Structure 1
């Protein structure tokens, strides 16, 4: 039988002022052609990193994940710590040598450019490094004193791969990990994030700026001049979390439920930081829509294949188009969400009829947690409460 699935989808409408949040190699705000119109675009990679950073704010530093080429240096630093601080008390040279030996079974090779760096970025939990140190069971100094061949033989007896392929932090469980050289280290991502697109056509503009030399009293010329490209847009953002995959990655229903709620909050509140000092572009969404499905994810970006024109305001028209697309998909394909939850600051009977009444964002998060918890415990979620249901209860 196929594995039961639960998809938690997050649809967001958010307006950003003049900004250059995510630029290409020439400094131009990223764009895409969609529906025959040029749109503002924020790459999924940019928003995933912003979400991960926002998510990590609530994590104790020791429980966070990191993505780095410096795993050997981090492991050596732990091995050099005193034993009372969770280390092995080795001298620097011994720690470097033992760290290199421990990482060899992982297929982690040194970079050709920098000796202390690995050849590729590795995403792992900081506590997983502590697990590697714990494998030594107090034998660090003994092993570090062995000749190279004997050291390699002893390390091969240790479950090094298992130490990095189990006990994943929530960040790795959510966003996954791919290691081409050793498939045992791969973690299937529980989250997929779409490129954010403007719901309307955009045009790139240029800001001509000057900087004054405060100590120049001889003439009135600028100390520096330049230009920066920017645009402004109302974005449709979409992400989907597979609660079933997250549970498999974390193995704990309680941890899965907590991580799911925190992901929805982090994705909602996050913002990439490109040129933020110049534009102060951080905003909050007009609308956050969460849909829960057990059949398949449905990105509703088709609502904006015909660009919104903004005659009545881009946010309001975008929300109305999104509501219409959700209804159309449900009626045409029969893919009706099991539950629909929304937080919004826009008016309109169409929104209430389609999304339900607006919930305070904290209440929305609490309900997401309850529904995911119910599915993890019972394999199903309670049916959507409707006006008819509530009238019958009265």
Structure 2
């Protein structure tokens, strides 16, 4: 079972995901330049929203400062919690290294001891339960004086939180700690061509003399506006395998749907106040394979005086029908949410409903498929 999520979302002038030069990210698709928001940016926004939907203490942490993290859980239970944490992490097969020295000015004091602790060579994604188990094992090891590498690996494995189960974990030093991501998120692309624009701004010094006509600061911010097509899919079987609990799987699917639909990356949000909600949402619960419908927009949507989201909805339905005719149907169950005028054509796929209703229906369908007793 795969849960495909298709979103049309119009975003006003904004720069929610920048490249290394500060420009809004773009990509060429269908021969024209498109606005783009990277999958990583929207996955992080989704993960951050999980904290509003479930107990934050149950979620995972992605960090290089894993020694510090485990040492905090150990607390005062051992004489040197940092050393105990480092030992159990190394026993789990995770390599550590000293952090790079920071350049310090003449007036700066001594470095914070926490900043001198060893770190993993890469961002490590651990669930709350895994952190607790590693901390307890570190305490036990410090008490007995005997380390157990097998136990350390077991402590760092299993008991995945929903964010780790959905987005996965790669540990280069110890492949047996890897977690295959149950969710895939595509780069969001505009359904039309874009040209980035520039906002030349000035900031006036409030304490400047009255006869000063100049500005305290000047600068340029690059931006664009677009109607985006966003896509993600969840492999329900793999998610159930990662979590090891069918009811937790249904809850995780529901939380992912809510968070992915409602979240937005925060780049330059104070400058542009660009936060919007989707114009429309289509969820397809499939039994064959995930299907990204971005090819509906290889030919850019031409507004012609109407909302681009309306044209995008039309092209989305046409591509869905074409693929269904060409390749047969998997008996997919569709759910639709419509929040903008002119998108009534989406009702051909399913009767529009509210987001909360759709989330509940999808979760129920997942429970039925997994055999969860009602």
When normalised by structure 1's length, the TM-score is: 0.86
C-alpha distance in structure 2 between counterparts of 1:207 and 1:74, whole Å: 42
2:169 corresponds to: 177
Distance in 2 of aligned mates of 1:39 and 1:157: 50
Which among 54, 73, 94 is matched to residue 49 of structure 2? 54
Q: Does the alignment pair 1:103 with 2:97?
A: no
1:236-295 CA deviation, whole Å, 9 max, x = no partner? 000000000000000111000000011011000010011010001110001010001111
**2:149 aligned with 1:135, yes or no?**
no
Deviation at 1:112, TM superposition (A): 4.2
Aligned partners of 1:112 and 1:119 also within 8 Å:
no
Tell me the equivalent position of 2:194. Answer: 202
Correspondence 1:326 to 2:320 = yes
The alpha carbon displacement at 1:158 in A equals 5.8
Question: Is contact 1:62–1:127 with CA below 8 Å preserved after alignment?
Answer: no
Contact residue 243 and residue 249 of structure 2 kept, 8 A = yes
**What's the offset of the Cα at 1:336?**
4.3
1:79 equivalent among 71, 74, 78: 74
Structure 2 unaligned regions, length at least 5: 101-115
For residues 149 and 268 of structure 2, the distance between their equivalents in structure 1, rounded to whole angstroms, comes to 50
Q: Deviations over 1:156-194 (max 9, x none)?
A: 266111111111111100100001110111001000000
Q: State the alpha-carbon separation in 2 of the partners of residues 7 and 179 from structure 1.
A: 26
SS, match of residue 122 in structure 2: coil
Normalization by structure 2: what TM-score? Answer: 0.91
Aligned to 1:364: 358
Q: Are the counterparts in 2 of residues 174 and 191 from structure 1 also a CA contact under 8 Å?
A: yes
Task: Report the RMSD for the aligned CA atoms in angstroms.
Answer: 1.6
Partner of 1:57, secondary structure, is helix
Report runs of 4+ in structure 1 exceeding 6 Å deviation: none
- 1:195 offset after TM fit, Å? 0.4
Question: More displaced, 320-329 or 158-167?
Answer: 158-167
* Aligned equivalent of 2:227, options 205, 229, 234: 234
1:63 aligns with 2:58: yes
Is the 8 Å Cα contact of residues 135 and 158 (structure 1) preserved in structure 2? no
**Which structure 1 residue ranges, 5 or more long, are not aligned?**
1-5, 82-87, 144-150, 379-394
Q: Structure 1 349/65 Cα, relative in aligned 2: closer, same or farther at 3 Å?
A: closer
For residues 1-394 of structure 1, the aligned pairs below 5 Å read 6-81=1-76, 88=77, 90-91=78-79, 94-114=80-100, 115-116=116-117, 117-135=119-137, 139=140, 142-143=143-144, 151=145, 154-156=146-148, 159-217=151-209, 218-311=211-304, 312-345=306-339, 346-347=341-342, 350-353=345-348, 355-377=349-371
| Structure 1 residue 56: Cα displacement | 2.5
Aligned-partner Cα distance in 2 for 1:27–1:192: 26
The Cα of 1:326 is off from its aligned counterpart by: 0.6
CA shift in 2, pair 1:206/1:124, >3 Å: same
| Alignment: residue pair count | 353
The residue aligned with 1:381 is none
Equivalent pair of 1:288/1:344 in contact (CA under 8 Å): yes
